[in-house]
Amino acid sequence: MDARYKSRDIERRSLDVDGLKRSFLEWLVYSVGKDARAATRRDWFHTVALAVRDRVVDRWMDTTRSYYHEDAKRVYYLSLEFLIGRLLTNSLSNLGIMDECRQALDRLGLSMEDVVDAEPDAALGNGGLGRLAACFLDSMASQGLPGYGYGIRYEFGLFEQRFENGWQVEYPEQWLQFGNPWEFARPEVLYPVQFYGRVEEFRDSVGERAYRWVDADRVLAMAYDTPVVGYGGDTINTLRLWSARATRDFNFGHFNDGAYMKAVEQKILSENLSRVLYPNDATETGKELRLKQEYFFTSASLQDILRRYLQHHTSFDNLPNKAAIQLNDTHPAIGIAELMRLLVDQHALRWDNAWEITRATFAYTNHTLLPEALEAWPVRMIERVLPRHMQIIYEINAKFLNRTKAKAAGDNARLSRLSLIDERGERRVRMGNLAFLGSHKVNGVSALHTDLMKQTVFNDFHEEFPDRINNKTNGITPRRWLKQANPALSELITTRIGQGWISDLSQISALREKADDVVFREEFRRAKRKNKKRLAAYIARQTGEEVLVDSIFDVQVKRMHEYKRQLLNVLHTIALYNEMRDNPTVSWVPVTKIFAGKAAPSYHMAKLIIKLINDVAKVVNHDPSVHDNLKVVLLPNYNVTAAEIIIPAADLSEQISTAGMEASGTGNMKLALNGALTIGTLDGANVEIREHVGPDNIFIFGMTADEVNDLRATGGFNPREVIASNPSLKRALDMISTGAFSPDDRNRYHPIVQALTDGGDHFLVTADFADYCQAQDAAMQLYRDQEEWTRKAILNTANMGWFSSDRTVNEYAEEVWDVHPVHPNHEGEGYR
């Protein structure tokens, strides 16, 4: 533990075992209000969290004070998702008091695991995008960068997934049900956010035309702050999440009239804004709610950012030197119009001046090229919900197109592609174009993805602004994803190369030479085996299925989506099953296929794929003819906590998306860092992983992005021909289509078979099948040679240093944000 940490030896902050123990007892009694004999696990979790929080608060205030004192440039990460998961282990580990806490609990007769397990998983996100935001928070704090996260405090996180009869069923995720010990409510940090109404034109004091937004509905955004503990505990940053509050809770008049529902209606409607992540967008009201959520948190965040800035400044000219605002995808892109509105309408800046400031302040990260995921809000919806913003968007567009027109020389097609408004069909605002135009930098999340951005969706913009697009390959925090999730491996690493890797992951390359050390290999395998046992126990608890610890743990964990091609993996599973049944005397390498992931509630195909996996599992797992050689499990309710158990135990990492469709991937990085070998396509960051780990230490298969593009450009292919020429594929598909896995409903999988055949197989599952199976065979063969497998696994771990989110965040800091580390002063008198 850091000696500086002891500089203030007040009881509340003492970090030794006795001090922690005394604190726990005090908190239990005086804040949780329980006697040790009556305390539940949850009580203990709250107790420990509150005591740990005590040890953070002073340093948090020091950090914030230092930022003010130095008038440091801050970076504001605006994200509709922060998939932070549990915070207890994270805080203890980053503070360096994990062992002390364990011992203190031990003295109280408690197990650390039980306490940790009582914490709900904060699932304020959906997949990689939200988890990336959480990794960036950790990295910013760990590097001493003045970074704030801004988002929504959803009352319900991403739904809890259960399987009922093999089908996904969604239940509300009530993470706040018993309170959240990490957050500080800030009822005084309250901003009004408006919706609807109309715009009034008037003449300002110098006779210029000006606008005000009137007759609007108002909602209040109230702040909740969560401290973000950097590694070493030096810097504690802030995650500020907004919760919606009605301006008036209760209509007394209605209540007195006996209209009880009506009395609270307004409150409920207003507060729906922060109720759920992803309101079902199958309905018009759901879509509108989502737009309102985007504006709600963006507007509150911008008001807060300006308030902070104005404490030190009187003119806005310096805003870009003091604030960098990063748009995590287009979800907060309405912020560009909002900052223009705040500057022009509320602070009376001239348009051109405001635009320059806005552009210099914002930067935008794109996370997907999938056309259906690129936000485009109907003009009529924005006009109604945010009338002033629609005007501003029109104005930005008109100015931009006028300037471009001069150069475009009548190329109307190009102009209409550059326009912020999509005029084809119902008129829509292209949020990607708005984000691009209103930002000084725009980045993709892997080298391939950034190239494709330049060639495809943002091709015209790239020609217009050739310096704007830049690449920032994603990364993952080694604190959560190696140190905490995989104590067995991280302790082994530390005994060999010291602990420098935790804050500088590039140092992990020192393990390379250990790959040839037979003793180290043995120990590396032992660590993996320990993790596999832990996962096997988890699988048994979750699914009732017993799996062989010595089988290949072949893992595909991610959102369920057709482009991620869980289906390709299922088809291989069926083919393998058939081979094993046909050749019972062969000594097979046992395989456990492990899947986990949620499907969007209205994504029927993805849900059908879930059912198929469960159906295949049912047949395979109960077929004695394959003995224990093949098991299939689909773990329910994939979240950060589950990932922390699954990832360290994986042998093989499935990263098999259709090339050109996965922007980056970050699960691929977590798995490789934890010593899994990747089987994958040359997609997203897999391309860079291959460069780093070496082509001999990864199983690459399938078409490249260029080949996919050419194939599609030349009219696709005929999946039926491919199927006909591949007996094992044909047999697997025939089994699915004739009901071998769904005897109760033989036609159940018709839509899947249809998509793969007459539907044209858009995701090229059949096209990549043969190559994928070959790569799988190669993996199985290699697994027989445990020494060689381990050597490659070690080389994966050793070569993943570059994929630390510390590296990513530093690149943003230098090339996009221009922010620099601040070293908080912890020696001052502070507030006392």
Q: What pairing do the DSSP bridges indicate for beta strands 591-596 and 184-195?
A: unpaired
Query: Which residue of the set 666, 678, 681, 766 is catalytic?
Result: 666
CB of 666 to ligand H2P, least distance (A): 5
Quick check: 441 and 470 in contact, CB under 8 A?
yes
- Choose the binding region for ligand H2P from 4-12, 126-134, 157-165, 702-710 (rule: CB under 6 A): 126-134
440 noted as active-site residue:
no
Q: Based on CB atoms, which residue is closest to ligand H2P, 484 or 664?
A: 664
Catalytic-residue membership of 832: no
Q: Looking at beta carbons only, is 238 or 328 nearer to ligand H2P?
A: 328
Nearest to 119 by CA among 86, 92, 154: 86
Q: Which of residues 567-626 bind ligand H2P (CB under 6 A)?
A: none
Nearest approach in angstroms of CB 418 to ligand H2P is 24
Structure tokens that stand for 422 in this block: 């999509």
Reference 665, options 673, 678, 655; nearest CA is 655
Whether residue 558 lies in the annotated active site: yes
Q: Which of 334, 278, 156 is nearest to 602 (CA)?
A: 278
| Active site annotation includes 712 | no
d(Cα 224, Cα 241) in Å, to the nearest integer?
Answer: 5
Q: Using CB under 6 A, pick the residue from 662, 688, 761, 806 that binds ligand H2P.
A: 662
CB atoms within 10 A of CB 431: 25
The CA–CA distances, whole Å, from 26 to 105, 178, 506, 533, 822 equal: 14, 20, 42, 37, 35
**Catalytic-labelled residue, pool 46, 670, 692, 792:** 670
Nearer to ligand H2P among residue 651 and residue 662 (C-beta): 662
DSSP letter at 121 equals P
CA distances for 398 relative to 54, 163, 344, 345, 435, angstroms: 53, 51, 17, 19, 16
Q: Residue 815 Cβ, how far from ligand H2P at the closest point, in Å? A: 17
If one asks whether residue 655 binds ligand H2P (CB under 6 A), the answer comes out as no
| Residue 565 within binding range of ligand H2P, rule CB under 6 A | no
Could you say whether residue 474 binds ligand H2P (CB under 6 A)?
yes
Contacts (CB under 6 A) with ligand H2P, residues 127-186: 127-129, 132
For residue 632, the surrounding DSSP H or E stretch is strand 630-635
Applying CB under 6 A, does 664 fall inside the site for ligand H2P?
A: yes
Task: Select 328 or 358, whichever has its Cβ closest to ligand H2P.
Answer: 328
Residue 750 amino acid letter: H
Position among 663, 671, 687, 767 found at the interface with ligand H2P (CB under 6 A):
663
53/598 with CB nearer ligand H2P: 598
Q: Which stretch binds ligand H2P (CB under 6 A): 125-133, 189-197, 570-578, 739-747?
A: 125-133
Annotation marks residue 441 as catalytic: no
Cross-strand bridge partners of residue 147 = 75
Distance from C-alpha of 274 to C-alpha of 279, rounded to nearest angstrom: 10
Q: Find the shortest distance in angstroms from Cβ 239 to ligand H2P.
A: 18
Give min distance, CB of 305 to ligand H2P, in A. Answer: 23
Residue 606 corresponds to which amino acid? A
Q: How far is the CB of 656 from ligand H2P (least distance, A)?
A: 13
- Which is closer to ligand H2P, CB of 23 or CB of 368? 368
| Residue 462 CB neighbour total at 10 angstroms | 18
Number of residues that bind ligand H2P (CB under 6 A): 17
The span of 45-53, 101-109, 122-130, 272-280 binding ligand H2P (CB under 6 A) equals: 122-130
Q: Round to whole Å and give the CA distance between 111 and 117.
A: 10
By CB under 6 A, name the one of 134, 145, 333, 445 that touches ligand H2P.
Answer: 445
In angstroms, the Cα distances linking 635 to 166, 667, 679 are 11, 16, 20
- Token pair, residue 219, equals 């909602």
Query: Is 666 near ligand H2P (CB under 6 A)?
Result: yes
Contact region with ligand H2P (CB under 6 A), list: 111-119, 120-128, 196-204, 592-600: 120-128
Tell me whether residue 279 or residue 684 sits nearer to ligand H2P (CB atom).
684
Q: Are strands 421-422 and 147-152 parallel, antiparallel or unpaired?
A: unpaired
Shortest distance (Å) from residue 575 CB to ligand H2P: 26
Stretch that binds ligand H2P, among 152-160, 257-265, 294-302, 663-671 (CB under 6 A): 663-671
Whole-angstrom Cα distance, residue 72 to residue 78? 19
Asked if 576 and 589 touch (Cβ cutoff 8 Å), the reply is no
Q: Per-residue contact track with ligand H2P, 677 to 706, x per CB under 6 A?
A: -------x----------------------
Task: Determine which helix (DSSP H) or strand (DSSP E) holds 469, and give its type and residue range.
Answer: strand 469-471
- CB 130, min distance to ligand H2P, A: 7
Told to check if 477 binds ligand H2P by CB under 6 A, we report: no
Residues 6+ apart with CB under 8 A from 323: 73, 74, 75, 76, 305, 309, 361
Closest of 123, 345, 155 to residue 242, by C-alpha? 155
Which 3 state secondary structure label does DSSP give 277? coil
In this chain, which stretch among 282-290, 571-579, 596-604, 660-668 interacts with ligand H2P, using CB under 6 A?
Answer: 660-668
Catalytic residue flag (residue 512): no
Instruction: Give the footprint of ligand H2P on residues 517-556 (CB under 6 A).
Output: none
CB of 638 to ligand H2P, least distance (A): 11
Q: Give 513-562 as a DSSP string.
A: GGGG-HHHHHHHHHHHHHHHHHHHHHHHHHH-----TTSEEEEEES---G
CA distance 436 to 674: 36
CA 610 – CA 614 distance, rounded (Å)? 6
630 phi, psi to nearest 5 deg: -140, 130
Active-site choice (359, 468, 558, 593): 558
Chain centroid offset of residue 273 CA:
21
**Residue 270 or 808: which CB sits closer to ligand H2P?**
808
- Smaller CB separation from ligand H2P, 331 or 468: 331
CA distance 74 to 82: 19
Q: Which is nearer to ligand H2P, 430 or 559 (CB)?
A: 559
What's the min distance (Å) between Cβ of 657 and ligand H2P? 8
Taking each helix axis from N to C end, the angle separating 334-341 and 284-310, rounded to the nearest 10 degrees, works out to 50
Q: How far is the CB of 366 from ligand H2P (least distance, A)?
A: 9
**Residue 358-397 contact track with ligand H2P, rule CB under 6 A, x = bound:** ---------xx-----------------------------
CA separation for the pair 643, 646 (Å, rounded): 5
- Considering beta carbons, is residue 663 or 722 the nearer one to ligand H2P? 663
DSSP structural state of residue 3: G
- List Cβ neighbours of 8 (8 Å cut-off, separation of 6 or more): 58, 826
Under the binding rule (CB under 6 A), the answer on residue 665 touching ligand H2P is yes
User: Nearest distance from residue 406's CB to ligand H2P, in Å?
Assistant: 36
**Which alpha helices (DSSP H) does 283-438 contain, by range?**
284-310, 319-322, 334-341, 351-361, 379-385, 387-408, 412-418, 431-437
CB of 84 to ligand H2P, least distance (A): 15
Among residues 479, 564, 631, 826, which one is catalytic? 564
Touching ligand H2P, residues 70-109 (CB under 6 A): none
Q: From the candidates 388, 440, 528, 559, which is the catalytic residue?
A: 559
Instruction: Specify the amino acid at residue 255.
Output: F
Binding span for ligand H2P by CB under 6 A among 139-147, 344-352, 603-611, 659-667: 659-667
Q: Which is nearer to ligand H2P, 277 or 527 (CB)?
A: 277
Query: Which CB sits closer to ligand H2P, 340 or 687?
Result: 687
The stretches of 421-550 forming alpha helices (DSSP H) are 431-437, 447-455, 459-464, 478, 487-497, 518-543
Residues serving a catalytic function are: 367, 558-559, 564, 666, 670
| Residues engaged in binding ligand H2P (CB under 6 A) | 126-129, 132, 367-368, 445, 474, 558-559, 662-666, 684
